[in-house]
A and B are shown apart, each in its own frame.
Chain A
Amino acid sequence: MDDQAVLRTTPLHALHLSLGAKMVPFAGYDMPVQYPLGVMKEHLHTRAEAGLFDVSHMGQVIVKAKSGEYADAALALEKLVPVDILGLKEGRQRYGFFTDANGGILDDLMITNRGDHLLVVVNAACKDADVAHMKANLADCDVTLLEDRALIALQGPRAQAVLAELWAGVSAMKFMDVREVPLHDVPCIISRSGYSGEDGFEISVPEAHAVDVAKALLEHPDCEAIGLGARDSLRLEAGLCLYGNDIDTTTSPIEASLEWALQKARKAGGDREGGFPGAERILGELANGTTRRRVGLKPEGKAPVRSHAKLFGDAEGKTELGEVTSGTFGPSVEGPVAMGYLPVSHAAAGTTVYAEVRGKFLAMTVAALPFITPTYKR
């Protein structure tokens, strides 16, 4: 009970309880892990219809240059991330990560050009450190953690139809577009993005109106509340990283197979080559390769292979190669799915490796990510 006393709650906490959610501590918050529907049906419902997720625990941060110029904020943040932010158009969003001097990953984040400032969304567990990191390194910017806004994710093939009940203009948005729109006369910031592999939206709502907006979306017959349990299996099937599991300060973006997130402007020969922490290692690995890579892993049997299971090159457990960083049962794949790190010698799709589970060595095949076909609206 002492643990519960210090847990924070989101603006939707009472709604979760009223919906019968099973609550668990997550990143310092009391969060819904599942509703009465259960993880399996919640996952499948999101892939078939639409799911509503409370992600208000994540950090929403405004970065605004003291000059008031977007370019100054963009160039400042580029000192911390290996991503082209100057070239990001107004009303567009991009994935990135804070790197450290060793080329490791401090956190991953979403970055939006909001005209005269940046809106960045960071992981709940990292948000205090991220804000401190930005404040310490972006002297000519004001960095403000928004404590008065909820964040609601709406994911799935019916997400557009559900959101269209509140705003007909939603159909004009494309993947990674961001718009400020009144929902129920409340100014909300909507991005067409998510963490499920499905088309969908993340909606930033002023705290006082979060329950109204969530309830209005849940009124749609195709929309169900979905907990963190299904959020994890959805993102893993979609091949998306979970910070702290699949990426952290011991993994470089290139080892993590995230090189697609680095645009030309920041790579060798680009207009603003390097200039981010760990650039020497990261650009070096881009040019010369790395010794290990994050890969998809498909267990051949029915047993899920969980994070930290050790991976071997042989069925006797003699040659240790690496470990699983995320693993679960994928309800849409109808079988276990996992991700992990392997030496490049064993990282090609189709390679067989062996995971140690309860004293047995279970065969897994290196598989292309994602495990499902994403339905992003490009």
Chain B
Amino acid sequence: MLKFTAEHEWLKLEGDVATVGITQHAADQLGDLVFVELPEVGSELTKDGNAATVESVKAASDVYSPLDGEVTEINQAIVDDPSLVNSDPQGAAWFFKLKLKNVSDVDGLMDESAYKDLIG
């Protein structure tokens, strides 16, 4: 099940662990990424709080946590090669995995058609 936020993160739920990344639309808007900073494994994230930082040639942008939870895994591949985020943002270039505090919070996020309406 794929869910989306208005801040252009996607979230894929398996059990109580969500894989989180940024959308194709966000990657296109940011342009060529040159730097990614991810949260530490074990850190507690809160909904809409800073989770990661991405930088293009031009500017730094924050990536927010879609929900409350604990980081269980991070994707070192995008730290080593930030351009992966531009080439496969909704696949191989996931950012981190989050063990959700309340799985039912997922119901409050957008589905794919609602997100597509948002970005026009």
Seen from chain A, the residues whose Cβ lies within 8 Å of a Cβ on chain B are: 33-34, 38-41, 43, 229-230, 232-233, 302-304, 306, 328-329, 331, 336, 358
Q: Which residues of B contact A233 (CB under 8 A)?
A: 57
28 contacts across the A-B interface (CB closer than 8 A): A38-B31, A38-B32, A39-B31, A39-B32, A39-B57, A40-B31, A40-B57, A41-B32, A43-B57, A229-B57, A229-B58, A232-B58, A233-B57, A302-B34, A302-B35, A303-B37, A303-B55, A304-B34, A304-B35, A304-B55, A306-B59, A328-B57, A329-B35, A329-B55, A331-B57, A336-B35, A358-B37, A358-B53
Seen from chain B, the residues whose Cβ lies within 8 Å of a Cβ on chain A are: 31-32, 34-35, 37, 53, 55-60
Whether the pair B58, A39 counts as a contact (CB closer than 8 A) is yes
A38-B31, A303-B35 known; A33-B58 Cβ under 8 A: yes
- Chain A, Cβ-Cβ closest to B56: A39
Q: Which residues of A contact B59 (CB under 8 A)?
A: 306
Q: Report A327 CB to chain B, min CB distance, Å.
A: 10
Q: Which residues of B contact A329 (CB under 8 A)?
A: 34-35, 55-57
Tell me whether chain B's interface is mostly helix, strand or loop, or mixed: strand
Q: Which residues of B contact A304 (CB under 8 A)?
A: 34-35, 55, 60
- Chain B, Cβ-Cβ closest to A34: B31
Q: Which residues of A contact B60 (CB under 8 A)?
A: 304, 306
Complex Cα distance, B55 from A370, in Å, reads: 23
Q: Report B24 CB to chain A, min CB distance, Å.
A: 15
Given A39-B57, A43-B57, A328-B58, 11 extra CB contacts under 8 A: A33-B58, A39-B56, A39-B58, A40-B32, A229-B57, A229-B58, A233-B57, A328-B57, A329-B56, A358-B37, A358-B53
- Chain A, Cβ-Cβ closest to B58: A229
Q: Report A136 CB to chain B, min CB distance, Å.
A: 37
Q: Which residues of B contact A306 (CB under 8 A)?
A: 59-60
Q: Report A116 CB to chain B, min CB distance, Å.
A: 43
Q: Which residues of A contact B37 (CB under 8 A)?
A: 303, 358
- Chain A, Cβ-Cβ closest to B37: A303
Q: Report A47 CB to chain B, min CB distance, Å.
A: 14
Complex Cα distance, B31 from A34, in Å, reads: 9
Q: Report A72 CB to chain B, min CB distance, Å.
A: 45
Q: Which residues of B contact A43 (CB under 8 A)?
A: 57
Q: Report A31 CB to chain B, min CB distance, Å.
A: 13
Complex Cα distance, B59 from A258, in Å, reads: 27
3 A-B pairs closest in CB distance: A40-B32, A329-B34, A39-B57
Interface hub of A43, A232, A328 (most chain B Cβ within 10 A): A328
Complex Cα distance, B35 from A283, in Å, reads: 43
Complex Cα distance, B34 from A34, in Å, reads: 16
Complex Cα distance, B57 from A33, in Å, reads: 12
Interface hub of B32, B35, B56 (most chain A Cβ within 10 A): B32
Complex Cα distance, B30 from A34, in Å, reads: 12
Q: Report A21 CB to chain B, min CB distance, Å.
A: 13
Complex Cα distance, B55 from A232, in Å, reads: 15
